[in-house]
Amino acid sequence: MAYSRKLEMKIANLEKAFSNLQQSQFFDYEFQVKAEVVTKRFEYSFEALWKTLKLFLSEEKGLECYSPMDCFKSAYQTGMIPEQYEQDFINGQKTE
């Protein structure tokens, strides 16, 4: 399946954001500074995730979504998010 250049760039940015978020756990800063850095990286990763998902749904599934929640619901409805994670994405509750 060939993706557009724009979608490939979004996916690359998303991968970089997640990588940076994972590396945050190894920082040697004071707790508060570390928390602020991790929070900012999480925000960036979340933004990259939903915007990449938005573009993917538009280009690959022909669906338009306009907010993070709308995109996650569309991803769930199209089967991109397994049913076992419905509560995590739709209601923001962790299932275990």
Please report, for the domain that includes residue 25, its CATH number. 1.20.120.330
In this structure, is residue 22 part of a structural domain? yes
Beta strand extents in 1-96 (DSSP E only): none
Q: What is the pTM of this model?
A: 0.65
> 34 is in which domain, residue-wise?
5-91
Best CA proximity match to 53, nearest among 72, 81, 79, 77: 72
DSSP state of 78: T
Q: How confident is the model at residue 12 (pLDDT cuts 50, 70, 90)?
A: very high
In this structure, is residue 58 part of a structural domain? yes
Best CA proximity match to 44, nearest among 89, 10, 94, 5: 10
Q: Round the CA-based radius of gyration of the chain to a whole number and report it.
A: 15
Chain segment 18-39, per-residue pLDDT in tens: 998 888 777 666 777 888 888 9
In this structure, is residue 96 part of a structural domain? no
pLDDT at 1 (0 to 100): 66
* Amino acid symbol at 85: Y
* Amino acid symbol at 45: S
**Domain total for the chain?**
1
Chain segment 52-74, per-residue pLDDT in tens: 999 999 999 999 999 999 998 89
In this structure, is residue 78 part of a structural domain? yes
In the three-class reduction of DSSP (H, G, I as helix; E, B as strand; rest coil), residue 2 is classed as coil
